[in-house]
Structure 1
Amino acid sequence: MSPAAHLALINFFTGDIQGGLGPFLGTWLAANGHWSAARVGSVTTVIGLFALMLNGPAGALVDHTSYPRLQLSLACGAILAGTLLILPAHTMVWVLVSQFMTGAGGALLLPALTLLTLGIVGKRRFPHQQGRNQAFNHAGIVFAASLIGLGGPLLGLGAPFLVFGSMAFAAIVAVIITPLRAFNGRRAHGWAESEPDHIEHRSTMREVLSNPRLLLLAAALALFNLANGYMLSLVGQRLVATGHNATGWIAVYVIVAQLTMIPVALWAGSRADQAGRRRLLLIACLALPLRALFCAMVTDPWGLIAAEVLDGVSSGLIGVAVPLVVADLTWGSGRTQTALGALNSLQGLGGALSGLVGGTLVSLLNWNEAFLALAVPAVAAAGLALWLEETRDVGMPFPPAPAEDAALSASKR
């Protein structure tokens, strides 16, 4: 099996465990622990904020090591332990402990996987491989959702825990069998592979995070997630209000969106160098206000499937384009995963605020106007994406220092 095939396998099994139990956690606690909706909501908020705070430090930790396989194994192990720990325990303390473990694992998972990918395929082949990674990631989500759907009648509310636990264990096995020799730490950071491993060309955090294009991308992603994060939930709430089977339709919409993301991710990975990163981001941001407009105009559950196809297009393109832009703008700095972690925190913050904004809009306006209002930050994100200069041809924004200077600085440490 080729190293690229190992990457695909790891992405398949980690696809559905990155976000933790998500909506299944609330259902489990309400049914088995007799938790109130307010108590579930408060714990979910605390867990979400904890995960947001870990993204940046997790990226920095990955940047300062060259052992992504170990980090991936630890991340998947933490998710596995946290997922299984909650089965026998329903008290507040144990729920928080278990979800802090899964949150820490999820924060470490993405930067470690990105570093492993760069260290195996290098910068030139990164766009194509990132498209494959995301395609297998979404395929894993569809696979896990299907298992939960089929196992639900037999296993009850415990089905998600068993599926997530099995996927996490399979991910650990996939990481362990990935050949160690396929990864090169210097290749992962953009440093010369001919130099000794102890020579590092690491830029300061300020140099990297003050990049204007990186800041512009961060603002665009925050606005994108502010518009996108709560839209499907609002669709489900409107279905409930109109007397439809919201749970069944939401499951259909999730699967439709994930199935759409698979070919979109493959296409984006194959066309990222020819079309450019900015074009991918712009298409993603333009598809989102179209989705909001569609949700405002269409109330038939069958018709809303088209809106979730647009969700698959926008999210599929974002998942491929963002790591490419970050790698372009930080290549050679030794801070790529730090920057990616910081961006993930801002995306998560936008998604967290989306629930507050979306719920407030529905209480103040009607359903149609709420969806139209969510299109506003999506249009603003598209404007910022249009403003963002193309990063494909940036080259090496942080060129390594001369070897003798680097060796001298290393000898002084």
Structure 2
Amino acid sequence: MQSVPHTRLTGRSLVSLAFLNFFLADARDGLGPFLDGFLATHGWSPMTLGFIATLGGILGMVATPLFGAWVDSSRRKRMLIIVPVVLVNAAALWTLASPGNASVFGGQSATAIVGAVVGPALMGMTLGLVGERHFSRQVSRNEFWNHTGNVVSLAGVYFATLAFGLNGVIGLMIVTAVATVMAVIAIDPGKIDHDVARGLAHDDGAPGPSGYALLAGSKGLILLAVTLMIFHFGNAPISRLIAQDFSIQLGTPFRTTAITTGVSQISMIAMALAAPFLIRRFGLASIFLIALLALPIRGAIAGSFSSFAVIFPVQILDGVGAGLIGIATPIAAERILAGTGRFNVGLGAVMTVQGIGASLSNIVAGWLTNIGGYELAYWVHGGVALLAVLAFCAGKKSIAPAAKNDIGVAVDPAVITPR
């Protein structure tokens, strides 16, 4: 079956997609970055918080490729966003109301499992709405609205906490969850090409490979997954540790986390705006390299200085590293998997492998903090990124293949002119 070509990046559904990314920034993570600061001020140790994050990461890691396969086969992608948003926010409200073992471990486990479907569902729906040709640009737009939403949400939490305390945070969570559901409903399901959404321009009816078979048989996908696993092992715990460290020092978990996270989100907005130009001008491989090199510099700065002012360069570099990686990863996966019909399950498999690194890093970071303080954890996790740079350089042509023009011929990204 020939898929319907996508020729525009306008229309009600794409406006709704922008609103979805704006509100989803807060709605899909529940407490998100505030969890560590909130629990640290309630007596939870870095080691325990690291274990909670590791448990959630493992559960999400197992669920992600299964949900990726579900997204590939489902024609109800909107519901695969709505249901997790409702459940995640219910779990977050439970944790805020009663931060005991049952709510923290149970709520965060549920959040990790159901939240794992949102990423593949959003990427699949985006690809189905705009098509392969416009996917790179739309991923950058999604990230722009996502990080903009995060900044607005963080500012809202900061001022709501000042005015209303914990009740202000609860109110904002409910508002963003409702707004997210409304934005999803406003997307016209008839505009989603479900064949294109799974990376299949021509459907011959033959079954495609499973996500794990696809991962095992693709050199580019394997190297991408390994590179991301190492990067996220180094990067994942640093913002959490920053939030814990200064929340305890200052005694204001929500306001402190709002500031530290807000700085990185503003940096990510800048990266989302710059990414389309950078990819066209320098190619996808250069974007990966810039992102990977930002992490060791970030770790060195965090490990060398202890004043609150250090959060500004550290979190700006988080925006550069994590922000560009977040944009480059689905673009690289789409290029590697183009024509297989298994974009979402393949991307889910990559996210599973990167999740191994992120999950293990949290408990290792907690252990390092216990034996040598926050500074030791910053240095070790920042230094790990150098291994990611080596892994990427070993196979950058496979990890970040050249873009293709409209007839499927590889072209040099440096010579593509803006449309």
Q: Which range moves more in the overlay, 140-149 or 94-103?
A: 94-103
Question: Which of 328, 333, 340 is the equivalent residue of 1:321?
Answer: 328
Name the counterpart of 1:55.
Answer: 64
Residue pair 2:296, 2:383 contacting (<8 A) in 1 also: yes
Conserved in 1, the CA contact under 8 Å of 2:199 and 2:337? Answer: no
Contact 1:249/1:301, CA 8 A, preserved across alignment: no
Q: Do 1:18 and 1:106's aligned partners in 2 also have CA atoms closer than 8 Å?
A: yes
Q: CA deviation at 1:45?
A: 5.0
Counterpart-to-counterpart distance in 1, 2:154 and 2:350: 27
CA RMSD of aligned residues (A): 3.2
Aligned with residue 195 of structure 2, among 183, 186, 190: 186
**Which of 148, 154, 162 is the matching residue for 1:153?**
162
| 1:161/1:352 CA distance change after superposition, 3 Å | farther
Which amino acid letter does the alignment assign opposite residue 125 of structure 1? H
Residue 17, structure 1, aligned to residue 27, structure 2: yes
Q: Which runs of 5+ in 1 are unaligned?
A: 400-413
1:208 to 199, 211, 214: 214
Aligned in 2, Cα 1:41/1:61: closer, same or farther, shift over 3 Å?
same
1:66 equivalent to 2:75? Answer yes
Query: Quick one: structure 1 residues 286 and 17, their matched pair in 2 at CA, closer, same or farther if it must change by over 3 Å?
Result: same
Judge conservation of contact 2:65–2:348 (CA < 8 Å) in 1. yes
Stretch deviating more after TM superposition (299-308 or 313-322): 299-308
8 Å Cα contact 2:37-2:257 kept in structure 1: no
Contact 1:78 1:104 in 2 (8 A): no
- Deviation of 1:237 (Å): 5.6
Is 1:125 equivalent to 2:134 in the alignment? yes
Write out per-residue CA displacement over residues 314-353 of structure 1, whole angstroms, 9 at most, x where no aligned residue.
Answer: 1110110001111111122222111222222333332232
Partner residue of 2:347 out of 340, 348, 361: 340
Residue in structure 2 matched with residue 164 of structure 1 by the alignment: 173
Deviation, structure 1 residue 140: 1.1
Structure 1 SS opposite 2:150: helix
Letter in 2 for 1:149: Y
The alpha-carbon distance between structure 1 residues 288 and 140, as it changes in their structure 2 partners (threshold 3 A), is same
Kindly indicate whether the alpha-carbon contact (under 8 Å) linking 2:52 and 2:108 is maintained by their aligned counterparts in 1. Answer: no
Offset of residue 51 of structure 1: 2.5
* 2:205 match: 199
**1:217 Cα shift?**
1.3
Shift of 1:170: 0.8
Contact 1:261 1:313 in 2 (8 A): yes
DSSP-derived class of the 1:112 partner:
helix
Sort the Cα spacing of 1:40 and 1:234 in 2 relative to 1 into closer, same or farther, 3 A.
closer
Structure 1 residues 327-336 or 350-359, which shifts more? 350-359
Q: Which aligned pairs between 1:264-279 and structure 2 lie closer than 5 A?
A: 264-279=271-286
Q: Is the 8 A contact 1:261 1:316 kept in 2?
A: yes
**Which segment is superposed worse, 350-359 or 312-321?**
350-359
Within the alignment, does 1:226 sit opposite 2:236 as a pair? no
Aligned residue in 1 for 2:362 = 355
Q: For the pair shown, which has the larger CA radius of gyration, 1 or 2?
A: 1
**Higher mean C-alpha deviation, range 39-48 or range 166-175:** 39-48
Instruction: For 1:27 and 1:233, locate their aligned partners in 2 and report how far apart those are by CA, in whole Å.
Output: 8
Larger RCO, structure (CA 8 Å, separation 6 or more)? 2
What code does the residue aligned with 2:23 have?
Answer: F
The 1-side partners of 2:239 and 2:44 are apart by: 23
Give how far 1:90 is off: 6.4
Change (3 A) 1:245 1:388: farther
- The farther-off stretch of 181-190 and 377-386 is 181-190
Match of 2:16 in 1: 6
Mean alpha-carbon deviation: is it higher for 214-223 or for 301-310? 301-310
- Contact map agreement 1:293 1:372 (CA 8 A) in 2: yes
1:393 paired with 2:402, answer yes
Report if the CA contact (8 A) 1:120-1:183 is conserved. Answer: yes
* Distance in 2 between residues matched to 1:99 and 1:324, nearest whole Å: 29
CA gap 1:87/1:376 in 2 versus in 1, 3 angstroms: closer
- Choose which of 287, 298, 303 in structure 2 pairs with 1:296: 303
Any idea what the Cα deviations from partners look like across 1:85-129, whole Å, max 9, x if unmatched? 556666755665544543333111111110110001111111100
Partner Cα separation in structure 2 for residue 89 and residue 307 of structure 1:
33
| Count of residues in Structure 1 that have an aligned counterpart in Structure 2 | 391
For the pair 1:105 / 2:119, whether they are aligned, the reply is no
TM-fit CA distance, 1:201:
5.3
TM-score (norm 2): 0.82
Q: CA deviation at 1:393?
A: 2.9
Q: Distance in 1 between matches of 2:49 and 2:185?
A: 36
Report if aligned partners of 1:8, 1:133 keep a CA contact under 8 Å in 2.
yes
The amino acid of 1:327's aligned partner reads E
Residues 17, 167 of structure 1: 8 Å contact kept:
yes
From 160, 177, 184, the equivalent of 1:175 is: 184
- Of 347-356 and 118-127, deviating more is 347-356
Instruction: Report the residue type matching 2:223 in the other structure.
Output: L
